[in-house]
């Protein structure tokens, strides 16, 4: 089978399973790197031994280790599908180790910082976008695909991962922002958030890149620290919102708020454990002050 037909079938399967447009783009982009490196023409050439795979990964010197690991995950998913479809006999991607990546502390916006960001954003469309992301925790792709017909008062029907749908409630403040925005909106686009001049769109819908660019612009005028301005993306706003809900209402509430299927996924956003340890150390530190008595 020609490689173009294999990739076409794989793309159809991803669409059938509800993968987002962004996921499709990432997976196919990563697979193309492999195909181009080995000049793969047919499905028979896809069965690549571990040493050759390692050679390919080592050639990606322009990528960070975390990005190489992301590519490896994309290929592992692809090769699992190839094995299920009996296109290959052996999935050698399972024998290749991921690269070691230094653990980094994720930047999280506090409630006060998120409110400051939204208040200081001048563009009403971006202000509403940020407010919805912060108060409902929806994903970037969900924001891109909200249509006017999906809005009923203070409720919005949203489409999420796996072709699932749910209705989200806007609180009184955000619903008021929505009404102000709709009264001043100057576009006939079917989408709530639409592309302006110079922004990329997909059939009229904003792309994820455009949403991130808007977040970055808003961060620059937020008055927040340079570290936050540099690090915060649309996904970090969602992550910060989930972290906030967990800290106030618990892990189960955070899971529901994030629309996660598993608590294991939600646990990634749980910062309360580290906060609890810090508070314990500080409290016990008060008891230990006597250690310094008599020391100049």
CA-based nearest residue to 45, from 60, 35, 32: 35
pLDDT at 276 over 90: no
Contacts of residue 8, defined as CB under 8 A and 6 or more positions apart, other chains included, come to none
For domain 3-95, give the fold.
DNA polymerase; domain 1 (1.10.150)
pLDDT in tens, 36-81: 999 999 999 999 999 999 999 999 999 888 899 999 999 999 999 9
pLDDT interval class at 296 (50, 70, 90): very low
pLDDT of 264 above 50: yes
**Rounded Cα distance, 135 and 141, in Å:** 16
Query: Predicted confidence band at 18 (pLDDT cuts at 50, 70, 90)?
Result: confident
* Of residues 189, 242, 237, 186, the one with CA closest to residue 215: 237
Q: φ, ψ for residue 204 (rounded to 5)?
A: 100, -20
Per the prediction, the chain carries an average pLDDT of: 87
CA geometry: angle 193, 197, 199, nearest 5 deg:
65
pLDDT of the residue at 96: 87
pLDDT at 161: 75
Pick the CATH number of 111-274 from 1.10.3720.10, 3.20.10.10, 1.10.443.10, 3.10.180.10: 1.10.443.10
More confident call, 18 vs 35: 35
Percent of the chain beyond pLDDT 70? 88
In whole angstroms, give the CA distance from residue 27 to residue 53. Answer: 17
pLDDT digit string, tens, across residues 207-257? 888 999 999 999 998 999 888 998 899 999 999 999 999 988 888 998 999
Domain spans of the chain, in order of start: 3-95, 111-274
Q: Which residue has the higher pLDDT, 267 or 103?
A: 267
pLDDT interval class at 206 (50, 70, 90): confident
The more confident residue out of 268 and 178 is: 178
pTM of the model: 0.68
CB 116: neighbour CB atoms within 10 A?
A: 15
pLDDT band at 280 (very low <50, low <70, confident <90, very high): low
Q: Which residue has the higher pLDDT, 127 or 290?
A: 127
């Amino acid at each position: 089978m020609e490689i173009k037909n294999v990739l076409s079938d794989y793309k159809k399967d991803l669409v059938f399973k509800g993968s987002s447009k962004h996921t499709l783009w990432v997976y196919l982009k990563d697979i193309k790197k492999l195909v181009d490196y080995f000049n793969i023409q047919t499905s028979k050439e896809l069965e690549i031994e571990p040493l050759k795979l390692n050679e390919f990964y080592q050639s990606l010197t322009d990528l960070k280790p975390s990005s190489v690991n992301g590519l490896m995950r994309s290929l592992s998913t692809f090769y699992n599908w190839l094995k299920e479809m009996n296109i290959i006999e052996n999935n050698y991607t399972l024998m290749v180790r991921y690269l070691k990546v230094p653990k980094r502390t994720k930047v999280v916006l506090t409630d006060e910082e998120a409110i400051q960001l939204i208040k200081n954003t001048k563009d009403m469309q971006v202000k509403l976008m940020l407010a919805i992301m912060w108060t409902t925790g929806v994903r970037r792709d969900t924001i891109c695909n909200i249509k006017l017909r999906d809005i009923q008062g203070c409720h919005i029907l949203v489409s999420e991962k796996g072709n699932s749908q749910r209705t989200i409630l806007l609180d009184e403040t955000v619903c008021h922002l929505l009404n102000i925005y709709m009264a001043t909106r100057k576009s006939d686009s079917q989408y709530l958030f639409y592309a302006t001049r110079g922004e990329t769109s997909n059939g009229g819908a904003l792309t994820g890149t455009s949403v991130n660019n808007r977040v970055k612009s808003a961060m620059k005028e937020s008055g927040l620290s340079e570290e936050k301005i540099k690090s915060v993306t649309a996904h970090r706003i969602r992550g910060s919102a989930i972290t906030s809900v967990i800290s106030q209402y618990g892990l189960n509430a955070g899971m529901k708020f994030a629309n996660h299927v598993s608590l294991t996924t939600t646990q990634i956003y749980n910062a309360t454990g580290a906060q609890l340890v810090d508070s314990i150390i500080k409290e016990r530190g008060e008891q230990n002050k006597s250690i310094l008595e008599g020391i100049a």
